[in-house]
Copies of this chain bind each other. A is one copy, B any other.
Amino acid sequence: METINPNHTVESLNDLLTAHDIKPTSQRLEIARLLFAHHNHFAAEEIFSMINHGSHSQINSASQNSVSKATVYNTLGLFARKGLVREVIADPNKVFYDPNTRPHYHMYDPSSGELTDISADTVQISGLPAAPSGREVEGVDIVVRLRRLE
């Protein structure tokens, strides 16, 4: 289920960040690569440990590419603010970061911690109320909560 997409060169990631008005630094590229190479949802702590304890160096294969915890959090917040990634609120004790910003929904299994995508193509929702005055709808989140079969 874990596919690594090699179609992200350092240059294309550079362009991606630049297009989102984010100055590409080595730390930001490292974090972006993690998110966009794996098609997966990650929490900040996971990204932090993948970068520091995992074997995912590609940009600078010689050094151990460490990024501080503060920078991981700052960077993910920045990415979300700039619309490069999306925050998914499905678990009360961690925020997931989703490299897919197009409309789609999620299925969450708290017992395994697995968060998977539901394509928006097949899903139809209707009858949702309009935003109250002075507000607009930023997005519609659907989370199908799973549990182990009794």
A interface residues with partner B (beta carbon < 8 Å): 87, 89-92, 95, 105, 107, 109, 118, 122-129, 131-132, 134-150
Docked pose: A118 CA to B131 CA in angstroms: 11
Among B95, B141, B150, which residue has its beta carbon within 8 angstroms of that of A143? B141
- How many copies make up the complex? 2
Docked pose: A134 CA to B111 CA in angstroms: 12
Write out the residue numbers on chain B whose beta carbons fall within 8 Å of the beta carbon of A107: 129, 131
Write out the residue numbers on chain B whose beta carbons fall within 8 Å of the beta carbon of A118: 128-129
Can you list 10 A-B contacts (CB < 8 A)?
A89-B91, A92-B95, A109-B135, A131-B146, A135-B147, A136-B146, A136-B149, A140-B142, A141-B142, A141-B143
Write out the residue numbers on chain B whose beta carbons fall within 8 Å of the beta carbon of A138: 145-147
Among B123, B132, B144, which residue has its beta carbon within 8 angstroms of that of A126? B123
Write out the residue numbers on chain B whose beta carbons fall within 8 Å of the beta carbon of A142: 125, 128, 140-142
